[in-house]
Amino acid sequence: MLDFKLTQEKPASDELATETYELIILGGGPAGLTAAIYAGRSRIETLLLGGSLPGGQPANTDAVENFPGFPEGIDGPELAQRFLAQAERFGAKVTLDNVTAVDFSAQPFTIHTYSKAYQGRAVIVATGATPRRLGVPGEDTFYGRGVSACATCDGFFYRDKETVVVGGGDSALVEGMFLTKFANKVTIIHRRDELRATQIYQEQAFANPKIEFVWDSVLEEVLGEQTVTGVRVKNVKTGESTIIDTAGVFIYIGMEPQTALYEGQLALNEQRYVISDRRQRTNVPGIFVAGDVQDPRYRQVVVAAGTGAIAAMEAERYLGAYPG
């Protein structure tokens, strides 16, 4: 169980109070929290705005097996909480508040939330990425009533039931295997006949007697009444449509960067990820970026943490702690 003891800001009032910090970090995942550890330890006055729940994707992940230092693996929420405890130990202020607008056009930079305006001389953008949706009929209607993108959160509800998972990457396999702790059967629907997931997860999933694969197939519609009862699936090679009975549909088809707030302010690439150089600098001096919001390729906790550390060290240099 998560035990985040944080400041929960109150909703907006007429007059927004302004708080000023040397560094403001947007996002409370591994990148943002690692940046906060480094900045706090360097005695930079740091605020991290952590959205609704800090911890980022690990907070919604069953187990993280490849973060160095944990040879037996570690529960995702526990890892997230350890990041947070370490950031707070070094003096970073971590606040639960959702950013509603940013102004990166002038120093100091301004960040608006529902309750306050914040100003910072440097900003690290680490707002991550969110699960992509399929965009098929029934998906939105049954979201939260059988459709989910979080097996760790919702898997428990499918004890002794059948579920389907859509996708062929690491997330689909890891979360599909997690679901077998509860469900009778997990059917993984993938649009090709070859998985994208890493070999070790493929081996584990193929060896799991509760997992079945439906290859070369796409989910066309989520079916149900009050809750999900099934999915209509089409084989892309034969064109044949079939219905699979299921109580739950878990969608793991990749991620979208959280960059809507930065449109027109930061340079984004064609996929709308923030563009940065190897020093995590964006096109705006004083604004740095870290984690999945700038990484369509690796998306690993250790990589996000690494870019968070670089961003914090570069922010420190920018703030004048180091010459040059």
User: Which residues are near ligand NAP by CB under 6 A?
Assistant: 65-66, 134, 166-172, 174, 191-192, 196, 218, 252-255, 298-300
What is the closest distance, in whole angstroms, from the C-beta atom of residue 25 to ligand NAP in the complex?
Answer: 22
Toward ligand NAP, which CB reaches closer, 67 or 114? 67
What is the closest distance, in whole angstroms, from the C-beta atom of residue 68 to ligand NAP in the complex?
Answer: 12
Toward ligand NAP, which CB reaches closer, 217 or 282? 217
Peptide bond just before 108 cis, omega within 30 deg: yes
Dihedral angle sign, alpha carbons of residues 190, 192, 197, 203 = positive
What is the closest distance, in whole angstroms, from the C-beta atom of residue 170 to ligand NAP in the complex?
Answer: 4
Toward ligand NAP, which CB reaches closer, 110 or 307? 307
List the beta strands (DSSP E) in 132-273: 147-148, 162-166, 185-189, 211-214, 217-224, 228-235, 241-245, 248-251, 255-257
Toward ligand NAP, which CB reaches closer, 49 or 174? 174
What is the closest distance, in whole angstroms, from the C-beta atom of residue 47 to ligand NAP in the complex?
Answer: 28
Dihedral angle sign, alpha carbons of residues 123, 98, 308, 1 = positive
Residue in the structure block whose two tokens are 């990166």: 104
**What is the number of other CB atoms lying within 10 angstroms of the CB of residue 173?**
28
What is the closest distance, in whole angstroms, from the C-beta atom of residue 218 to ligand NAP in the complex?
Answer: 6
Backbone angles phi, psi at 235, to 5 degrees: -80, 120
Judge whether 288 and 281 are in contact, CB under 8 Å.
yes
Toward ligand NAP, which CB reaches closer, 24 or 177? 177
Contacts of 207 by beta carbon, 8 Å cutoff, 6+ apart: none
Which amino acid, 51? Answer: G
Residue in the structure block whose two tokens are 């609704």: 52
Angle between helix axes 301-318 and 30-41 (nearest 10 degrees) is: 40
Which sequence positions are flagged as catalytic?
150, 153-154
DSSP 156: G
What is the closest distance, in whole angstroms, from the C-beta atom of residue 64 to ligand NAP in the complex?
Answer: 6
What is the closest distance, in whole angstroms, from the C-beta atom of residue 311 to ligand NAP in the complex?
Answer: 20
Toward ligand NAP, which CB reaches closer, 174 or 287? 174
Toward ligand NAP, which CB reaches closer, 60 or 110? 60
Q: Which residue's CB atom is positioned nearest to ligand NAP?
A: 169
d(CA 318, CA 68): 30
Dihedral angle sign, alpha carbons of residues 212, 216, 219, 224 = negative
d(CA 186, CA 208): 10
d(CA 44, CA 38): 9
d(CA 62, CA 147): 18
